[in-house]
Amino acid sequence: MDAGAGNQPHNMAALTQELGTAFFQRQQLPASMADTFLEHLCLLDIDSEPITARSTSIVCTIGPASQSVQMLREMIKAGMNIARLNFSHGSHEYHAKSIANIREATQSFATNPLFYRPVAIALDTKGPEIRTGLIKGGEDKEVELVKGSHLIVTTDPAFREKCDSHTIWMDYANLPKVVNVGGRIFIDDGLISLLVKELRPNSCVVEVENGGMLCSRKGVNLPGAKVDLPALSQQDKRDLEFGVEQGVDIVFASFIRKAGDVAAIRQVLGERGRNIKIISKIENHEGVKRFDEILEASDGIMVARGDLGIEIPAEKVFLAQKMMIGRCNRAGKPVICATQIAREAEAAMYHQQLFQELRRLTPLSQDPTEVTAIGAVEASFKCCAAAIIVLTTSGRSAQILSRYRPRALIIAVTRNEQVARQTHLSRGVFPVMWHGAKQDVWAEDVDRRVQFGIEMGRVRGFLHSEDVVIIVTGWRPGAGFTNIMRVQQVP
């Protein structure tokens, strides 16, 4: 660092003196505003206080232990943003009860608008899958597969209910055509590993590489194989139609391999489900290789680290993860990383570098909303804004602001309940529901919503008096007219 660098306000005392008494997010503030990455690393402080507002959303799977209204209320109070329903298990009646309970728990906070917390409901599809048959003697029986032994994997329906230590039936007719000699077949989330030794018309000879106890109807993975299963089973179609009837907000689409799989889901959702967001789950090698076309067709991505670690070598999962997250960030689309995430991962974000890189990678735009968002984020860095308050009809303005990773919290004020719930998919966005009547004078209507956003920020502890906030609004009602930015101080 040169001699002149010592005069820059890169310590907390100097920054606080320069900014006055205004409240702002102090976590690793000097490091986040560094000019170079090396300087950012040198300025990291182990005593830096954590931020007040959480930038990421929390997705919770709802099961029998968490289905009650009381438990759901506690989960919402603890920070749940998206409730995931796993349609690999449970009947439609069971999931309908879960959805009703989620909505009842959410509405119980609606009596006080300042404490209302919109919760999105996500339907996680079962997806195309391969399973073993029934063990001979009954569904509760099991057999031991001994390491080093040889057996037959068959697709002959005659063995559907006669699996034993010599023959295992699998419900994928083309299995002998898509695996290769020397390839592997994983059973039960990789606990059992079979090495393919010989291919036959309706079966293959395998050697048990990693043995264990095999039960009935266990899942099968074929790493590296191009599986030609249909994107949607009949059960998936019924589940999606049920989701449309129930008014879910998000679909987590399992085992997506190509853009056509996403198109098939949109077709089933139809006109009634056109506003449902589709988050494609990348869980196999083909999905990674065709990621760009999947990303373009989807509303967002889920990196399913657990399943991906079976389909590709475990030591390469982090490479695939970094690639997918990076491309989602560049495209400005939500990305969820699932399974075993270090909670320290975002404790030292280099915001300035992120913004500059994302702006550089983004093509020049004449879209007023995009240009306004870039200006708002840049202004938020210049004045150390505590928040960016955006009025949004469709949620697009909030999503674009999120794309450029501002350090400031994005408070998105909307009248649309589904938009409020779906904004949980975007990083750093805090949705606020405005139930006030529309005013005849547009400027008055805007001011009321902005003041409500500020009041919400104060109640939640995000904003204090004399804070600087950036206001982003449109010049007229409706979606697609966001083009006004102004700077305001919290009274």
**Mind telling me the catalytic residues?**
84, 131, 281, 339
Token duo for residue 158: 């005659």
Helix (H) or strand (E) holding 67: none
| Helices 368-382/351-361 angle, 10° precision | 160
Backbone phi, then psi, for 489, in 5-degree steps? Answer: -100, 140
Question: Residues of 429-462 as b/e, b for ≥16 C-beta within 10 angstroms?
Answer: bbbbbbeeeeeeeeeebbebbbebbbebbbebeb
* E-strand stretches of 255-353: 277-282, 300-304, 335-338
Which residues, in sequence order, are CB contacts of 319 under 8 Å at separation 6+? none
Q: Is the Cβ–Cβ distance between 22 and 468 less than 8 Å?
A: yes
Closest CA to 456 of 387, 383, 400, 402: 387
Which residues, in sequence order, are CB contacts of 468 under 8 Å at separation 6+? 22, 24, 383, 384, 385, 386, 487, 488, 489, 490
What Å distances lie between residue 269 and 243, 279, 297, 416, CA to CA? 9, 14, 15, 20
Tell me the C-alpha distance between 199 and 26, whole Å: 62
220 - beta bridge partners?
A: 130, 187
Strands 409-414 and 167-169: unpaired
Closest CA to 279 of 308, 310, 248, 323: 248
Is the backbone of residue 275 left (phi > 0), alpha (psi -120 to 50) or beta? alpha
Task: Compute the radius of gyration of the chain from its Cα atoms.
Answer: 26
Question: Residues of 374-392 as b/e, b for ≥16 C-beta within 10 angstroms?
Answer: bebbbbbbebbbbbbbbbb
Distance of CA 314 to the CA centre of its chain: 21
Which residues, in sequence order, are CB contacts of 427 under 8 Å at separation 6+? 55, 56, 57, 334, 402, 405
Closest CA to 225 of 187, 253, 263, 257: 257
Q: Is the Cβ–Cβ distance between 206 and 150 less than 8 Å?
A: yes
